[in-house]
Structure 1
Amino acid sequence: MPGLSGVVDVAADLDSSFAVDAAGTLWAWGLNLPNAGNLGLGAGAPVTNVVPQAVPGISGVADVEVGWHAGYARDLSGSLWTWGSNQSGTLANGTYSGYRPYPAKVPGVANVIDLATSRHAGMALRADGWVLVWGHNFNQLFGEDPISATPLQLFRIPGLQEISAGLDNGAGLQDNGRVWTWGNNEHGQAGVDLSRTSVWPPHLMQLGQRATWIEVGLVNTYALREDGTVWAWGGNSSGSVGTGSLAEANHDPAPVIGVANATYVGSGPTADHVVVVQPVLTDFSLTLDPGAGSVIPGGSVEAGLSLTPLNGFSATAALSVTGLPPHGITIEPSATQVSADKAVTITVRAAPPLPPGVYAFAISGAVGSTVRSVPFSLTVTPPP
């Protein structure tokens, strides 16, 4: 994208987008509503911005989130910044109306380590495990208080390190891998029986393993477990739970089909889908041509060993032989390593008095813990 490099964080709603680069600069583009100032570009900024613009008045940004025509940022010092529409007190400035077209620091809020946004509410996680909330409280997203224009201390869970919010439910992740949920449960997104339409206080999920990442979507919740699988629960009318069916309201966590070795899960309060990042694992295969040979005792045969790279593999593989009989057959490779641009000739010798018969062994190539093998069959015939 023009003008952007070194991006470390992104956020978007229906018609506006934000990015944070490695220097801590906040960038914005998309629709800038005249009576909302949701891009934070200041008074008089264009309505349509097709190229990212640096947001003035804020620096050292570590994290950005976007709500309903309102933006939220955390800087490297742990301060909270807001801008845009103030519907329902979403700017946390003590009022319930108007808008602010530029970022401003929220007084009295410090040591913030994570942010989350919902429909008309913001959430901030402090380093001491306290979750702060402000804005409109739909379906007990933040307990019993209906609305607040200033940040409230909602609850404290020691070791809480990450929070996420959907349309009107939330989730938190502790440093011990435990996942907590709260808020609306009409679709099972809080992970309890559907007889409970909302969950408060927070509920401890049972996922069978430690989680390393959480994400909340429109009406569904996702957890990345330490084994690299993604587990999902909640609304599924669009197949967003990923269980292979459109069965609605699944409150029991289930693994997303076909996902393994995941490193990231992304969704959002207006998203009825999820994005999962899986690393492309490099690999290789070996080919031995021919894969068999025939000799008499004292004779030899040659075969060519080649390597085919997969998914961008570019290393060399160290060669070894397995399955040789204890005496009589020797393997002489022309090199000790094979690569995509350097094939190896394998010479197989049968020393007398090796008894006639069929001898099978394998040539292996290893790169770290990845080992690939190819078989070879040697037939030893009696001398004429």
Structure 2
Amino acid sequence: MTFKMTALYAWGANSHGQLGLGFVSEQVLEPMRVEDLPDNLCESSIKDIYGGGGHTFLLTNQGKLYGAGWNISGQVGNGTQVRAVPNFESIRGLEDHKVVSVACGWIHSVALTSRGQVWVWGSNSHSQLGLPTNEVPFSSLPICLDISEAVSIAAGLRHTVIATKEGRVYSWGQGQKGQLGHLDTEGKMIKTQTTPRVVEPLEMKVKKVACGQNTTYAITNEGEVLAWGDNKWGQLAHDPVNVSFFTCPLTIPSNYFGGLRAVWMQAGWTHCAVGLSSGQIYMWGRSDYGQVGPVEEEETDEASAQISKTPGKLQNSRYRYVPSCLRLDNIRQVVCGSEHNLAVVGTPEKKKKLMSWGWNEHGNCGTGNTENVYKPVSLSLEGDLKVIGSGSGHSFALVKLL
């Protein structure tokens, strides 16, 4: 009889214990197995992995949540403010709720439950929890917001966005780059929104939201992509020479995606990935670390390596504002860190592979060094790849071992 085991691997920045390895270190350059998990957490039950600036969450099929890492403002949610939590611990206050999704900001956390409730914890320094800062400067335990029927949540550096069952979008927190999408009565940009507020006008109903560092994205029921906020690196799919930021939702032209519907979206700090109904994945935004993949004009690895070394050699060498198709065969999934990516590639007939590329200062690409990765590379992990996840500068993979 063959017994199957499941193993969780982690690598990258670990200065706050965000890898859950039981210790704090500057970095882990190659995938390392997470051995010491809570007794009631079985690796095979892990459904999703989420990361923030320096903290991480594991979400199980049963809707239970476990956190580790940077906790100076209580963003791990274990009821303390101990600076680092080096092992995964159960999140307090959500034991009687089934969590279905999590979003992490730099230093705050958000959870969505099966009942459509939104729970927040961590730092509230810029009202990113949706609560008055003078009343709640931070929280080390989840607080339920007065919002019902939420279906999608997202967190940027210091702002939070949700979509509801009715297709409305609410946002709050910091908005100095227009990422909240709110204007005052005089038509001026609102730089801080203390409590959740509907983004208006929004003519189309939204079903999914995502956040970059200071940018917000949404997918409508019709599969169109909306974007607003910072555009320094072309994150809005508009030339940053002409548009530095925008305070109202802009529709990204569907012809950029071949007229196809967007199905899902992932956002890094300054780049974005969208999955289409065809299965293709398009990326755009900042590219000087190679985070959006090699540009179409490049034919060799040598050319790819010159992206950030010879500004101006290639058009938009530091950014790409026109989305382009990611050149990987049989892509099944992509997740974005702050400036790096992980992808699952493969077919049902072939073993799935884990690919990584982009910024690698903390070893978050898992290549064994800290050199940026300008072209997707394959990481060697034995077993059947099941789940991938990333934080700002750290990465995870769950594999089933034969």
8 Å CA contact retained: 1:128, 1:158: no
* Aligned counterpart, 1:68: 106
* Aligned counterpart, 2:145: 106
3-state SS of paired residue (1:263): strand
Unmatched segments (≥5 aa) in structure 2: 1-33, 182-188, 296-303, 308-316, 352-381, 384-402
Q: Distance in 2 between matches of 1:184 and 1:253?
A: 16
* Aligned counterpart, 2:292: 241
3-state SS of paired residue (2:126): helix
Q: Distance in 2 between matches of 1:37 and 1:56?
A: 11
8 Å CA contact retained: 2:54, 2:106: no
Q: Distance in 2 between matches of 1:166 and 1:178?
A: 18
Q: Is 1:37 aligned with 2:74?
A: yes
* Aligned counterpart, 2:282: 231
CA deviation profile, 1:183-229 (whole Å, cap 9, x unmatched): 11121110012211113422222211222211111111211122222
Unmatched segments (≥5 aa) in structure 1: 285-310, 313-384
* Aligned counterpart, 2:169: 131
Q: Matches of residues 229-308 of structure 1 in structure 2 within 5 Å?
A: 229-244=280-295, 245=304, 246=307, 247-257=317-327, 259-268=328-337, 271-282=338-349
* Aligned counterpart, 2:196: 151
Cα distance 1:74–1:231, how it changes in 2: closer, same or farther (>3 A)?
A: same
3-state SS of paired residue (1:14): coil
Cα distance 1:283–1:187, how it changes in 2: closer, same or farther (>3 A)?
A: closer
* Aligned counterpart, 2:231: 185
Q: Which amino acid is 1:273 matched to?
A: H
Q: Distance in 1 between matches of 2:211 and 2:156?
A: 6
3-state SS of paired residue (2:279): coil
3-state SS of paired residue (2:284): strand
Cα distance 1:228–1:37, how it changes in 2: closer, same or farther (>3 A)?
A: same
Using the size of structure 2 for normalisation, the TM-score is 0.65
Q: Which has the higher strand share?
A: 1
8 Å CA contact retained: 2:101, 2:113: yes
* Aligned counterpart, 1:57: 93
Q: Distance in 2 between matches of 1:22 and 1:281?
A: 22
CA deviation profile, 1:82-136 (whole Å, cap 9, x unmatched): 11111111121222562111111112x1111011111111111111111111111
Of 169, 174, 187, the residue aligned with 2:220 is 174
Alpha-carbon shift at residue 157 of structure 1 (Å):
5.0
Instruction: Between the two structures, name the one with larger relative contact order (CA 8 Å, sep ≥ 6).
Output: 2
* Aligned counterpart, 1:17: 56
Q: Percent identity?
A: 22
8 Å CA contact retained: 1:19, 1:64: no
Alpha-carbon shift at residue 75 of structure 1 (Å):
0.9
3-state SS of paired residue (1:38): coil
In our comparison, the structure showing a higher alpha carbon Rg is 1
Alpha-carbon shift at residue 173 of structure 1 (Å):
1.4
Q: Distance in 2 between matches of 1:138 and 1:279?
A: 41
Q: Distance in 2 between matches of 1:122 and 1:212?
A: 21
8 Å CA contact retained: 1:243, 1:255: no
Cα distance 1:8–1:157, how it changes in 2: closer, same or farther (>3 A)?
A: farther
Using the size of structure 1 for normalisation, the TM-score is 0.68
3-state SS of paired residue (2:340): coil
Q: Which amino acid is 2:76 matched to?
A: L
8 Å CA contact retained: 1:79, 1:105: yes
List 4+ stretches of structure 1 deviating above 6 A: none
CA deviation profile, 1:243-294 (whole Å, cap 9, x unmatched): 344212211111122x1332322114xx11222222344169xxxxxxxxxx
